[in-house]
Structure 1
Amino acid sequence: MPEAITPQAPDPFETTPFHELLFKAPVKLLLFHTYHVLNSLRSAPTPSDPPIRVVCISDTHEKFPENVPSGDVLIHAGDMTNDGSVASIQKQVDWLSSLPHKEIVVISGNHDTYLDPRTRPSLSDDQRSGTIDWKRVHYLQHRSLTLSLAIEPSYTDSPRTRLLSGVKHRSIRLYGAPQIPACGPLSIHAFQYPRGLDAWSETVPEATDILITHTPPKYHMDLTLPNGMGCEHLMKEVRRVKPTLHVFGHVHWGAGQMVVWWDGCHDAYEMGMGARTRWAHGLLNPWIWWNLVRVGYRGLRGLVWDKVWGGKGPSTIMVNASQMHENTGKLSNPVQVVDI
């Protein structure tokens, strides 16, 4: 008899077709789109004066993006390499340090094997020989960094405006941490922890302006449906700290940026997305339906407060800076630029 073929489990790093989502999680699908449509209609946060231009990249996987925009700070949110060797990391550092940005900040990703002492032994002797010269690149691994920046007037301003405004100074505090929920062998992929383990609570300093992680927070630019590839404990930590900007990568399909407003609409979205869909794929779960109603009501309230009264409230700009387009091996996602 021919050997039976065992069906393979779907790859969690690939999108689920819409018709499958419509069957598996119909209410959550509606909840997801209701939240994101209402959220997209709100005004963007107003940058501070003077604004700092932050250029965000991630998941370059040994390649070099073309046409990286200029800016004050360049951030790389991990997965510089594929093989994680010293030589591969050094090539990325050499390229990064050659860019014209005033400050360059980097964290590790799960493919940057050498940077995690626990996974370093998985490399061959040749791959882990030598040391990394970080040059002018700031490498953050569970640590903070304060940058003082001299911000020059924008070249889009008139000559008179540039003359009158002059150079201004701002300081920002960044915190970088590379750990991710496990997605491969713990002995090979760097900085992993078992999915569901809390590796985040009370780890990010409260005064952080820019948080840099490799994993997304759960339900935000992380292949949210049907299950979400991000970390729920990181999401709680981001909500606690409320940084101005949160930069991450890891999930290539989630590339882009959005604003999270820390209000009742977002609370209802998270609660609804986190609800179980055991019975009839969520159709019989009143908690999901209730939070869908709350997202609609609170989202419309926030939209009116924004558009009519000019209200803003606390927010975080979330950026999935993955350069790798899906899982194609090509860097074609746009570089993300944010003014804060």
Structure 2
Amino acid sequence: MKLTFISDTHSLHSLLTLGTGDVLVHCGDFTGRGSLEDTLAFAQFMAKQNFTHKIAIAGNHDWCFEDQRSQEAESILNDHGIIYLNDSGIVLDGVTFWGSPIQPEFMDWAFNRQRGAPIRQHWEKIPAETDVLITHGPAFGILDWCTHGARVGCEDLLEVIQRIQPKIHACGHIHESYGIREQGGTTFINACILNEYYRVVNPPIEYTLVGENL
């Protein structure tokens, strides 16, 4: 299964060139400030991409997925053939995907949860058999470094990942920590397309699950 990961495109998706594959995954922040108009433009872009399946989660900028417009926003994605995950999962060709937009409290944005019990209740929903875990924010200490010198990932998320050991954990949110890392049997991916100056500089990250990886 060929997977392509992107994140934090912030309505600049039209500048991307994507190939083909089995599953295209967006790890959140596909809009600037969460308007329905931006959501529609994103959905139309995704619908044109040559992938068998398309998955998206929301991010802290995607306000219309957490406020009173959430039902309409989700319908826009669904109507364009995009699988929207919100503390939910799906099995595609035998591979189990789980997605969540939640991240530790970060300024006054969408899908913020306090560290500790409030955020842990979301991670406790992740099934033990998850193969590909998609969250907007990173796990603590892994692809979560900010330019001001702090690590801002979630400790409770890391604990769950270490316990269930998904094959892939994909995220975004922290633009300056784009990259890929293997650790503890999991491939960690930060797929932010924009850098910290909100410029399109990073390519999509491709990963193929084959043989014993499946």
Say yes or no: TM over 0.5. yes
Structure index of larger Rg: 1
Contact 1:86 1:129 in 2 (8 A): no
Tell me if 1:71 matches 2:21: yes
Q: Which position in structure 2 is the counterpart of 1:62?
A: 11
2:76 to 112, 128, 133: 133
Of the three residues 97, 100, 108, the one matched with 2:58 is: 108
Q: CA deviation at 1:58?
A: 0.2
Q: Which amino acid aligns with 2:76?
A: D
CA distance in 1: counterparts of 2:205 and 2:87, whole angstroms: 23
- Residue from 45, 48, 67 that aligns with 1:98: 48
Q: Equivalents in 1 of 2:29, 2:124: separation in Å?
A: 25
Q: Structure 2: how far apart are the matches of 1:259 and 1:141? A: 26
The unaligned stretches of length 5 or more in structure 2 are 210-214
Letter in 1 for 2:119: A
User: Which one of the candidate residues 191, 201, 209 is aligned to 1:321?
Assistant: 191
SS of the equivalent of 1:183 reads coil
Q: With the length of structure 1 as denominator, give the TM-score of the two structures.
A: 0.56
1:334 aligns to 2:203 (yes or no): yes
Superposed CA RMSD in Å reads 1.9
Aligned position for 2:153: 230
Identity, in percent, stands at 28
TM-score (norm 2): 0.88
Equivalent position of 1:207 in the other structure: 129
- State the secondary structure of the residue aligned to 1:338: strand
Q: Which residue of 2 aligns with 1:247?
A: 170
Q: CA deviation at 1:227?
A: 3.6
Distance in 2 between residues matched to 1:191 and 1:245, nearest whole Å: 22
Higher relative contact order (CA 8 A, sep 6+): 1
Q: Offset of 1:242 from its aligned partner?
A: 0.5
- 1:169-184 alignment runs, 5 A limit: 171-184=94-107
Deviations 1:124-169 (A, max 9, x none): xxxx896542221000001110112xxxxxxxxxxxxxxxxxxxxx
Post-superposition shift, 1:203? 1.7
Find the aligned partners of 1:339 and 1:317 in 2 and give their Cα distance.
Answer: 11
- Matched residue type, 1:321: A
Which structure has more helix as a fraction of its residues? 1
Q: Per the alignment, in what secondary structure is the counterpart of residue 21 of structure 2?
A: coil
Deviation at 1:177, TM superposition (A): 0.6
Please say if residues 39 and 76 of structure 2, whose CA atoms lie closer than 8 Å, have aligned partners that are also in contact.
no
- After superposition, residues 19-34 of structure 1 pair within 5 angstroms as none
SS in 2 for 1:83: coil
The separation in 2 between residues aligned to 1:144 and 1:211, in whole angstroms, is 9
User: Runs of 4+ in structure 1 displaced over 6 angstroms?
Assistant: none
**Post-superposition offset of 1:66:** 2.1
Distance 1:172 1:214 in 2: 20
CA distance in 2, matches of 1:175, 1:211: 5
Write the letter of the residue equivalent to 2:112: Q
Q: Letter of the aligned partner of 1:190 in structure 2?
A: A
User: Which is strand-richer, 1 or 2?
Assistant: 2
Question: What aligned pairs does 1:284-303 form with structure 2 within 5 A after superposition?
Answer: none
Q: Does the residue aligned with 1:240 lie in a helix, a strand or coil?
A: helix
SS in 1 for 2:200: coil
In the TM superposition, what are the counterparts of 1:16-55 in structure 2 within 5 Å? Answer: 52-55=1-4
Q: Distance in 1 between matches of 2:16 and 2:31?
A: 17
Name the structure 2 match of 1:257.
Answer: 180
Counterpart of 2:134 in structure 1: which amino acid?
A: I
SS at match of 1:133: helix
Kindly state the Cα deviation for residue 59 of structure 1 after the two structures are TM-superposed: 0.2
C-alpha deviation, 1:336, in angstroms: 0.6
Alpha-carbon shift at residue 198 of structure 1 (Å)? 4.9
Deviation at 1:197, TM superposition (A): 4.5
- 1:299-327 Cα deviation digits (max 9, x unpaired): xxxxxxxxxxxxxxxx110000000112x
1:81 is paired with a residue whose SS is: coil
Name the CA distance, whole Å, in 1 between partners of 2:45 and 2:162: 34
